Structures are given as structure tokens and as C-alpha cells.
Chain A
Amino acid sequence: MNRSKNISLLTVEDLSLGIKSTGCPAVCLVENINFSLEPGMILGIAGESGSGKTLTASALSGLLPEPVRILSGKMRFAGGPLFPEKTKHPGFKRGQDILFLFQSPSSALDPRVRVGIQISDALVQAFGWDRKTGRKQTCQAMEQVGLSASFFDRYPFQLSGGQRQRVLMAMAFGLRPQILIADEPTAGQDDSNRDHLLMLLREYTRTRLSSAIVISHDLGVLCGLADFLLIFFQGQQVEAGTPAQILAGQGHAHTRELVDAMGFFQEAP
């Protein structure tokens, strides 16, 4: 992969995350992550639960859960540091530049607010539109992901799991962030929903203006989707390569396990 720093959208060097309280040695949860994201690229992060995928993604958007902190490493976005030293403000705009779609759309959406409003809030915040324009743009974004405009006034409990996931995708299509991070977008979906979501993700990066980081425990999904893969195991990045390299190579033991698991699911009728 061309690793020229000049055109990289996002570079992560030796990132380590963990918990450090005064007086005690640091507990490292994620160690030495290295990757670089180019425009138009889909980066896949695979690994079992608890391997640190979500934590890494949280770090990228500045949403690490309370006690966890960045212990070391550098992250650069569009030429500047992701989190500049002296200021409290991040070096990017959440939502507009980097959008992190949480793992569970049910918990990401406020059950008391209509889904259309939740989408248009983000758009209005990012682009400064008024309510009417916000609503119009939201409906456009919703249609792009296959939700009719009638869904605007619905509450999350009135939607199926797949529809809620599409609401999150509609946010992505409306905001058009340069980096879209999707955490387990296909988990718990039936096949047709899953295919539709994968298609949307591909569509998202097609124009080469934006990239995506897709996290999944399902290597099979990522192999068909990503341009480049990272394999996480127990907080460490144990392998990196293209899907072809990962599948073919004699890499880390854990990778073999993931590949075998994938094969198991593929062979079953």
C-alpha cells in the first residue's frame, strides 16, 4: 500500500490506550496500533470481542469511556494532529469530519426523540441550515439508504433493527464525513439487510472523497468489503494486510482461527 504521508487521510502511529491512575502502573488495554487510511479506502478491523477494536475507534473520535486514556502514540488527520497538545478542542469536527457509528443502533438512538429529528439535528449542527432545509436534506439522506420519508416522524421503537441501522447510515450519508467508522454494522442482521448495508458502505467510499473504517468480528464480511485489514487480538494488532494476503498467508495463530471460523460458516449450507 502506498504509505505516503502527504495524501493519507489519517495516520496512527504506535497508539496505546489504557488506564493510568496516579501512583499505579498503567494498565494497557490496547497496544501499538499502526495504520494509515487513504481517501476512498475501506479499512477493516477484525477480531473477537474484547480485542480492543471499539476502544481504538473510540479513541479516534475522542470518545473514550471515562477512565481509559491515550497512553502514547500519535494520530494525524488531514495534515494536523488529531488531538492538538495545548487545547481542549480536537483537531477535527465530530460528525462532520469523523463520524463514529456505535455498535448498537438501539442504544445509540434516543428512544424519546423521532428518528428524523435525530438525523436532522446532526445535519443542522454541521451545516448551519434551518429546520426546513434540515428536514429536506434528512429525507434525501434517508432515501439514499432506502428509508422512505414517512420514517422521519417515527420513534426508534417503531423501527426494526435493520431500519435503525439504516437510520445511522442516513446520518452518515447526510453528513458525508471524511472518515466513517462503522462498528459492527452487520451484527444481528439477516442476509438481505446485511447485503444492503455492505452495499451502502461501498457506495459511501466510491467517490474517493471519504473513507471508512469497518469493525467486525466476522472476517468473511470484511474480506469482501475492505481494501486493507487489521487483525486485533487481545489489544494488539497482530496482523495487517490485504484480504488476499490475510487469507493466503501463514500469519498469526489467531488469524488462522478467524479464517477457519469464516470457512466453517461459508461451508455450512
Chain B
Amino acid sequence: MMPVVTRKLLYLTFVLWSISLGTFALFSLAPGDAAQIILNNQNETPARNQILALREELGLDAPWNVQYFSWLKKILKGDFGQSWQTGRPVVDEIFARFPATLELAGTAFAMVLVLSVLSGTLSAVFRNRFVDRLIQAATVVLTAMPTFWVGLLLIYLLSLQCRLFPIAGRGTLAHLVLPSATLALGLAFFQGNVLRAILLRIMSMDHIRFAFAKGLGKKKILVRHILPAALPPMVTMWGICMGQLLGGAVIVESVFAWPGIGRLTVEAVMGRDLPTAQALVLLISFLFVMVNTLADFAQLRLDPQMGTPQ
């Protein structure tokens, strides 16, 4: 039986390949003639022979598997084609906008981390007391609020009324606050609630009771036994969190006119710019899968039972 790591990597490669296949299938099934759309976007009313000529050039009449493999070859070389909206290479468009989303998602993730650990731990330690009930109530409301509404409310209260932050766009640190807070808020309380459940389960275990029996204080038990035991399931949750951050970024970037790949995805989809949309789906999925695989490997390292010779 081959070692765990190798097996996981092989499966990962398989999943990535399947994603490429699925993405290609999805986009080739999209209604609309590719050649026609390209020519339309170039502001010409295409004549029939122009469409046929472009189809020939793009190889759109070749059999399906030929199209797939030639596409795959180009992808692996880093050629994602030209944007149908701007004509520029898709890679350029994406790389121009990627750092912005990274900044947004990264900041939001940091906020989620801090806030969720705080709220989850407080909830669990003071279970069913005032703090817990308060946090639980806040969770029900905040996780029910749509992200775009939170964004609009924050803009209204803090930008328009109080003039504390700029309304939209990217630039200074002040520009970063509202968008990342909007993205982080609901997620933080959701994760905090998950952490609470995990901590409560751990706290009911015998070895926690025994830690009390041998004389350790509450704080020491929390730090030495409870929180470390919560780490593995939380790492998995953080991996999933990334997916929600990427999805949420699409909304938040639109609300705050943030120049990231989330907004690019919306523009590409609305503008029928298939190469860009396709590349974005591929890259975002890739990113998400990699993050989750990292989380998986982190779990392996965290478990003292894995990897030690018996």
C-alpha cells in the first residue's frame, strides 16, 4: 500500500484533471456561437463567411476530444487565450486583478480567524451564560444577513454618515477596511459557532475531567488540552472557509467596486467572455483544491498517530 502522501497527491492530480475536463465541457456546452460572439464584440456585424473563417481558424469544427487536448496543451503552457471583451490575453487580465483579491481575501481571513477563535472560545467557556447567549443571538442574525446588505449598511453608516472610510475602490489602508470587514463578518460568527460545538465536545471528554482531577487550572487546561485538540477539525473548516471567501469576494468586490478577480468573473459572465470566465473558474477551483489539500496535509502532521512507526 503506497504511503498516504503519495496517494493523496495522485488523487489530487486526478481531481485537477477532472476539473479541467468538467470546465471545458461546461463551457463548450454554453449556448451561442463562439465565433459569432467574438466578431460581435469587435463591433462588426459578421458576415456568414467571416464567421466560418473564424471558426476554421479557432478549430471549432474539430472533434470534441481534439479540441480538449489542444486546449489542455495551451493551458499547461500558460496560454488561456484572449479575452473576448478586451482582446488582451486572459492571463494578463487575471494577473492584473489577482493581487487585489488576495489582499481582500487575506485580510478578511485574518479577521475571521481572530474573531471566530474569540467568539467560539468565549461561547464555549461561558456556555449558556450571558456572553454565550449574546454571541449565539448575534450569530443567528449576522449569518442571515446577505453580504451585499452588510456592505451597503456599512457604506451608509461609516462612509456616508460618519465619513470615516472611503465609499469604494482600492487604494489606501482605509479602503481595505470596509470590504474585508463585510466579507469577514458573517463568516467569522459562523466559524465561531462551529468552533463552539467542537470545543464543547472536547470539553466533555474524560481526559479533560482528569486534567481537573490532577489539579490543573482552567486556563492551563484550555491552552494545553482543549484548544490543541480543536485544531485538526478547525483546519479543515478553514480550508472550506477559503471557498466561501472566494465566493463572497465576488459579491463584496461588486459592492465596493474592488478591482479583483471576483468582479472580473462577474464582468466576464455578463459579457459572455468565455475564455476569461473559463480560466477564472479553472484557477479559482485550482486554488480552492490546493488550499484544502494543504489543510489535509496539515492535519496529517498534527495527528501524533500518523507517520510514527508502530
A binds B: yes
Give the interface of A toward B (CB within 8 A).
61, 63, 93-96, 99-102, 104, 107-113, 121-122, 125-126, 155, 157-158, 171, 175
From residue B94, how far is it (CB to closest CB) to chain A in Å? 42
**In the assembled complex, which residues on chain B have CB atoms less than 8 Å from the CB atom of A102?**
206, 209-210, 213
Of B163-171, B214-222, B284-292, the segment with at least 4 beta carbons within 8 Å of chain A is B214-222
B5 to chain A, nearest CB (A): 21
In B195-231, which residues have CB < 8 Å from any A CB? 205-207, 209-217, 220, 224-225, 228-229
Give 24 pairs: A residue, B residue, CB < 8 Å, sorted on A. Answer: A94-B214, A95-B215, A96-B215, A99-B213, A99-B214, A101-B213, A102-B209, A102-B213, A107-B206, A108-B207, A109-B210, A110-B225, A110-B229, A111-B207, A112-B228, A112-B303, A121-B211, A121-B220, A122-B214, A155-B304, A157-B305, A171-B214, A175-B214, A175-B215
Interface size on B, as a range, is 20 to 34
State whether A112 touches B229 (Cβ < 8 A).
Answer: yes
For the complex, what is the distance from the CA of A122 to the CA of B217, rounded to whole Å? Answer: 10
Least distance between A138 CB and chain B CB atoms (Å): 12
| A contact residues around B214 at 8 Å (CB) | 94-95, 99, 121-122, 125, 171, 175
> Is B43 part of the binding interface, using a Cβ–Cβ cutoff of 8 Å?
no
Q: Which B280-309 residues sit within 8 Å CB-CB of chain A?
A: 303-305, 308
**Residue of B210, B224, B225, B228 most packed against chain A (CB within 10 A):** B210
Task: Assess the B207–A110 pair: CB atoms within 8 A.
Answer: yes
Q: Nearest-CB distance from A125 to chain B (Å)?
A: 5
Question: Which residues of the partner chain A approach B225 to less than 8 Å between Cβ atoms?
Answer: 110, 113
Interface centre among A100, A102, A108, A112 (most CB of B within 10 A): A112
Q: Which of A94, A96, A101, A107 contacts B212 (CB 8 A)?
A: A94
Q: Name the one of A61, A63, A113, A125 contacting B217, with C-beta atoms under 8 angstroms.
A: A125
CB <8 Å contact, A125 and B305: no
Q: Which residues of the other chain, B, contact A109 by a CB distance below 8 angstroms?
A: 207, 210
A63-B209, A109-B207, A113-B224 known; A122+B216 contact, CB < 8 A: yes
- What 5 A-B pairs have minimum CB-CB distances, sorted nearest first? A95-B215, A107-B206, A122-B214, A108-B210, A95-B214
Nearest residue (CB) in B for A172 is B214
Cross-chain contact B215 with A112 (CB below 8 angstroms): no
Residue pair B224, A63 in contact (C-beta under 8 Å): no
Kindly state the separation between the CA atoms of A123 and B153 in the bound complex, as whole angstroms. 54
Q: Which of A63, A99, A125 contacts B216 (CB 8 A)?
A: A125
A158 to B308, CA, bound (A): 10
Cα of A111 to Cα of B303 in the assembled complex, Å: 9
The interface residues of chain B lying within 8 Å CB-to-CB of A175 are 214-215
